[in-house]
Amino acid sequence: MTETAPATATPGTPTDPGTGSIAGPSVAYQNWIDRQSRNRRQVQVGRALILIAFLALWEVAPRAGLVNPMLTSYPSAVWEGFLELLAQGNLGLHIGVTLLEVMISFAVAMILGTVVAICLWLSPMLEKILDPFLVVGNALPKIALVPIFYIWLGPQGSIYAVAIAVALFITILMLYTGFSQTDPNKIKLARTLGAGKRQILTKVVLPGNVHTFMATLKANVGLSLVGVIVGEFQASKAGLGYLIVYGSQIFRMDMVMAAIVILSLMSVAIYLAVQKAETWLIR
């Protein structure tokens, strides 16, 4: 349970008898601030310890012969593989290709999914017609569509198609669920004041689902990245997915692990950017 902050000094609080100025924060409030700061430090230390323990185990286990280093590599070898990729001069190209594909797929899935969700909310009949198809589309393993997309759209187009397909259906379902669960009392009030359906959508439903939009954006970060990598496994000649496939073919697990680490950092960076946008938008 989140701890509630004690009340602090406001313009209406008593003034200091000695100076006539407004009294500072109370002792209880300052203690609460200290506890929150201490909790944040403990969380950061805990995360750091888990990461250090994981890296240490990963480094020691292959060197001690507990696991085959040909199958798992180890952090120092991954770092050397990363430096080798840098020295080859094309690592930036691979990262840029994957990042561009992720951002385009991410944007298309969000825009198209939002439009479809709005249409479903505006037309209950359309929602009833399309509901089983959306459920099946969301449940269908998208990796099964990769060969079909490759034949239909070619190498590059299939990457975007798979990434959009992975993120699109969950976007539609999440947004439509949020729209349909908007506070009915607010909708009744808007109707009482003479608002039409489009005005209710723009003045009540969309502003009331900012958190739903942001949750969908966060979910789509990972989904779009998964879709792009799956597409690159099949068809790409550049990108981090291509590096993973190429490294596995020549038994360079250090190269494979280096690409996976870069993917992890990329997903974290995109997620933090979305989280920053959420903070700005809510303010």
pLDDT tens per residue across span 203-213: 888 888 888 88
The C-alpha angle 109, 112, 117, rounded to 5 degrees, equals 110
Provide the whole-model pTM.
Answer: 0.74
Name the band, by pLDDT with cuts 50, 70 and 90, for residue 49.
very high
> What is the pLDDT, as a whole number, of residue 90?
80
Of the candidates 213, 204, 134, which has an alpha carbon nearest to the alpha carbon of residue 178? 213
CATH superfamily of 93-282: MetI-like (1.10.3720.10)
> What is the average pLDDT value for the chain, to the nearest integer?
82
Q: At what angle do helices 75-88 and 27-63 cross, to 10 degrees?
A: 90
> What is the pLDDT, as a whole number, of residue 10?
47
Task: Let me know: does 46 contact 57? Beta carbons within 8 Å.
Answer: no
Name the band, by pLDDT with cuts 50, 70 and 90, for residue 23.
low
**Can you read off the two tokens belonging to residue 20?**
């006539």
CA 176 to chain centre: 19
If one compares 259 and 2, the residue with the highest pLDDT of the two is: 259
> What is the pLDDT, as a whole number, of residue 115?
93
Cα separations in angstroms, 47 against 41, 42, 43, 201: 10, 9, 6, 42
Task: Let me know: does 142 contact 227? Beta carbons within 8 Å.
Answer: yes
- Spatial separation of the C-alpha atoms in residues 169 and 173, rounded to whole Å: 6
| CB neighbour list of residue 93: distance below 8 Å, 6 or more residues apart | 238
**Can you read off the two tokens belonging to residue 65?**
């012969």
Give the residue-averaged pLDDT of 129-136: 86
pLDDT tens per residue across span 241-254: 888 888 888 778 88
Task: Let me know: does 227 contact 105? Beta carbons within 8 Å.
Answer: yes
